[in-house]
Amino acid sequence: MATLTTDAIQRSLEDLGTPLADVTFCVVDLETTGLSASECAITEIGAVRFRGGERLGTFQSLIDPGSAIPPSITVLTGITSAMLIDAPRIAEVLPSFLEFLGDAVVVGHNVRFDLSFLNAALAETDRPRLSNRSIDTCGLARRLIRDEVPDCRLGTLAERLRLEHQPSHRALDDVLATGDLLHLLIERAGSLGVTGLDDLLALPTMAGHPQADKLRMTDSLPRSPGVYLFRGRRGEVLYVGRATNLRARVRSYFSTDTRRKTGQMLRETARIDHLACGSALEAAVLEIRLIHSHEPRFNRHGNTWRRYAYVKLSLGERFPRLSAARTLKDDGGLYIGPLASTSAARTVIDAIQSVVPLRRCTCRATRSPGTGPCVPAQLGLAACPCSGEVDEEQYARIVTRAVEGLTSRPDLLIDPLAVLMRELADQKRFEEAEEVRCRAAALAGALRRQHRLGRLRESGRLLVLSPGRGGAEFCDGLLVQAWRADAAGDPTLEFPPASGKRPVPGEPIPRDIADELNCVAAWLESESHLLRLEHCDGTLAEPLTRIPTFRPLTDPHA
Whether residue 396 lies inside any domain: the answer is: yes
- Regarding whether 141 and 85 lie in a shared domain, the answer is yes
Q: Is there a catalytic annotation at residue 169?
A: yes
Residue 256 in this model has a pLDDT that exceeds 70: no
| Per-residue pLDDT, 209 | 59
Tell me: do 116 and 53 sit in the same domain: yes
Task: Tell me: do 428 and 345 sit in the same domain.
Answer: yes
185 and 207 housed in the same domain:
no
Q: Are residues 159 and 250 in the same domain?
A: no
Maximum C-alpha span of the chain: 114
pLDDT at 7 over 50: no
The residue annotated as part of the active site, out of 109, 165, 169, 294, is 169
Residue 300: per-residue pLDDT: 83
DSSP string, 224-292: SSEEEEEE-TTS-EEEEEEESSHHHHHHHTTTT---HHHHHHHHH--EEEEEE-SSHHHHHHHHHHHHH
User: Within 10 Å of residue 22's Cβ, how many Cβ atoms?
Assistant: 13
State pTM to two decimals. Answer: 0.68
- Are residues 379 and 235 located together in one domain of the fold? no
Same domain, 377 and 434: yes
Same domain (yes/no): 68, 50: yes
Q: How much is the average pLDDT of 157-182?
A: 94
**Mean pLDDT of the chain, nearest integer:** 85
For residues 70 and 54, membership in a common domain is answered with: yes
For the chain, the C-alpha Rg in angstroms (whole number) is 34
- Residue by residue, DSSP assigns 341-369 as -HHHHHHHHHHHHTTS--B-S---SSPPT
Phi, psi of 326 (to 5 degrees): -90, -20
Same domain, 179 and 219: no
Q: What strands lie across the sheet with 334-339, from one edge to the other? A: 322-325, 309-313, 334-339
Domain endpoint, select from 192, 218, 237:
192
Domain membership flag for residue 308: no
* Whether the predicted pLDDT of 371 surpasses 80: no
**CB contact set of 273 (below 8 Å; sequence gap of 6+):** 4, 5, 6, 228, 229, 231
> 424 and 411, same structural domain?
yes
Q: What is the pLDDT of residues 495-539, one digit of tens each?
A: 444 444 566 667 889 999 999 999 999 999 898 888 999 998 887
Task: Report the share of the chain in percent with pLDDT over 70.
Answer: 87
Same-domain pairing of 161 and 31: yes
Look at residue 544 and tell me if it is in a domain: no
Q: State the total domains in the chain.
A: 4
CATH number where 66 lies: 3.30.420.10
- Domain region containing 531: 459-536
Amino acid at 498: A
DSSP 382: -
Q: What is the pLDDT of residue 194?
A: 81
